[in-house]
């Protein structure tokens, strides 16, 4: 039921809704709310036919007859691409001591359906449990929100008080300092942007006012770029052939091209978010792994295809690449056991950089990127890898991810890691900066600001090597670590103390 059908008195009784509204800016509004007091209001059972829904008479909707976790109560919603939505729903089950629930969205474009998980919660037997999530709408023809289970496919359960809030932050594009200007002449200041974020004209205008280099969050990773079906067709004649596509990265790359903004490419070679089919004969899971020779051919052809297609469609936009990401194991400092290592061997990194140098447009900078650079034995393993890559002369620099917590690693550890890597003479970039905190009390926000400020001051000690600093996201609520408030702007896109600490460090 829409908000207009609900009396104001009823709305005022919904405590969580009020809490959400109180924390939101003036540009938020309750778009939908249902208490299931009269009818199912468009909700239906998502299943193969066995599941059914019914009203309980207590303002709740119950689903029964489920035969799989995805069998769930769902409802279609009209959403605007690029806009942000807050969601909340209560769930209750009475059959198990505890069950895992997921608030998800099924979205479709031209008949092709895909899915995202937005929130998770464990519901104890007989207790109402709240799931809350944030969704930035993509460019889809259809959006269905639903509540499913994890490893509890036959469980009956109820939902109540589903609330959808539209959120349009009041972006500050002129009244606060621009980080790109604060550090102008020293290094670029940027951030990561997802596909859905890039669809919003207002959001991108705000991002563009602050930053002058961007990284696609997921959209240039192999699982977004490798076209497995087209590659299967090509493999009939040549097992080393590779097909690629840029659909997911197109909104950001197009925006950057139109606005004359740099993009850093992330990432060509990674053990994660790479289709398993890439490593099998005929690109088929059912067939054996390919030989070293075939995998080397695929590696070069993939890198070549990515470089050629990005330069053809977006010439000059991508100025640098993470060639390889996270190849060092945390606990041993040795190469991580991955398909790349298993099939090609230890020289897969050297070959990746060789091919990237061969096919990258002239002037493109090539980086190795990793996390936990301040910790041992990881740091020693990174140093050994960098030295071996430098010997072949195809690497330009190192990317520090810097996914830190306000209390760990220590400033001394971060400083020591920076100093050790900088001693190689390589270019330096901070690729994925964020700093988590446990709450948003004034004291804790100040500690976060102090940490950000300390990191920036350390980085400024390397003026001849540091070329960019990029946070991994802009707003806390859109971060992959949203529950720990890690970024420079809050959920309403307002600058936090951490933002002002970064500004102060650069003045």
Could you give the CA distance from residue 92 to residue 468 in angstroms, rounded to a whole number?
Answer: 48
Q: How many CB atoms lie within 10 A of CB 280?
A: 17
Catalytic residue selected from 326, 387, 392, 442:
326
CA angle, residues 90, 92, 96, in degrees to nearest 5: 150
From the list 170, 432, 442, 504, the catalytic residue is: 432
Residue keyed to tokens 């240039």: 220
3-state secondary structure 221-244: CHHHHECHHHHHHHHCCCCCCCCE
Determine if the peptide bond prior to 409 is cis (ω within 30°): yes
The runs of H, that is alpha helices, within 4-107 are 8-12, 15-23
Q: Is 326 a catalytic residue?
A: yes
- Rounded Cα distance between 86 and 167, Å, is 7
Residue 432 known to be catalytic: yes
Within 8 A by CB and 6+ apart from 153, the residues are 66, 67, 68, 69, 71
Rounded distance between C-alpha atoms, residue 295 and residue 291, angstroms: 6
Q: Are the C-beta atoms of 242 and 305 separated by less than 8 Å?
A: yes
Q: How far apart are CA 187 and CA 377, in angstroms?
A: 30
d(CA 20, CA 5): 20
Q: Say whether 108 sits in a helix, a strand or coil.
A: strand
Active site amino acids: 326, 432
């Amino acid at each position: 039921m829409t908000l207009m059908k609900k009396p104001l008195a009823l709305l005022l009784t919904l405590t969580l809704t009020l809490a959400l509204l109180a924390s939101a800016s003036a540009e938020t509004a309750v778009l939908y709310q249902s208490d299931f007091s009269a009818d199912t209001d468009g909700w239906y059972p998502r299943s193969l036919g066995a599941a059914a829904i019914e009203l309980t008479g207590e303002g709740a909707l119950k689903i029964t007859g489920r035969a799989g976790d995805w069998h769930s109560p769902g409802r279609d919603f009209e959403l605007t691409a690029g806009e942000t939505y807050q969601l909340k729903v209560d769930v209750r089950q009475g059959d198990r001591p505890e069950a895992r629930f997921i608030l998800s969205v099924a979205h479709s474009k031209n008949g092709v359906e895909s899915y995202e998980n937005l929130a998770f919660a464990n519901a104890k037997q007989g207790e109402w449990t709240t799931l809350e999530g944030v969704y930035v709408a993509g460019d889809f023809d259809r959006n269905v929100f639903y509540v499913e289970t994890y490893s509890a496919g036959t469980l009956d359960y109820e939902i109540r008080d589903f609330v959808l809030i539209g959120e349009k932050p009041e972006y500050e594009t002129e009244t606060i300092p621009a980080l790109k200007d604060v550090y102008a002449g020293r290094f670029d200041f940027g951030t990561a942007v997802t596909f859905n974020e890039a669809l919003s004209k207002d959001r991108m205008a705000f991002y563009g006012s602050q930053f002058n280099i961007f990284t696609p969050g997921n959209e240039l990773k192999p699982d977004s770029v490798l076209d497995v079906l087209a590659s299967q067709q090509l493999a009939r004649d040549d097992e080393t052939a590779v097909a690629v596509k840029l659909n997911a990265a197109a909104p950001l790359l197009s925006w950057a091209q139109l606005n004359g903004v740099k993009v850093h490419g992330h990432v060509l070679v990674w053990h994660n978010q790479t289709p398993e089919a890439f490593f099998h004969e005929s690109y088929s899971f059912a067939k054996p792994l390919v030989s070293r020779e075939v995998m080397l051919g695929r590696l070069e052809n993939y890198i070549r295809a990515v470089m050629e297609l990005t330069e053809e469609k977006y010439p000059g936009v991508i100025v640098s690449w993470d060639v390889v990401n996270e190849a060092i194991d945390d606990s041993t400092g040795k190469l991580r056991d991955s398909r790349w290592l298993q099939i090609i061997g230890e020289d897969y990194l050297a070959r990746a950089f060789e091919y990237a140098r061969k096919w990258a447009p002239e002037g493109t900078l090539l980086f190795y990127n990793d996390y936990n650079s301040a910790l041992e034995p990881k740091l020693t393993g990174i140093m050994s890898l960098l030295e071996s890559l430098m010997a072949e002369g195809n690497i330009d620099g190192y990317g520090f991810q810097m996914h830190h917590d306000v209390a760990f690693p220590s400033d001394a550890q971060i400083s020591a890691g920076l100093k050790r890597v900088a001693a190689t003479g390589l270019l330096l970039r901070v690729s994925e900066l964020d700093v988590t905190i446990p709450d948003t009390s004034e004291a804790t926000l100040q500690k976060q600001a102090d940490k950000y400020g300390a990191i920036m001051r350390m980085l400024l000690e390397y003026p001849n090597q540091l070329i960019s600093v990029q946070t991994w996201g802009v707003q806390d609520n859109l971060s992959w670590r949203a529950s720990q408030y890690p970024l420079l702007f809050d959920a309403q896109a307002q600058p936090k103390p951490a933002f002002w600490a970064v500004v102060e460090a650069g003045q």
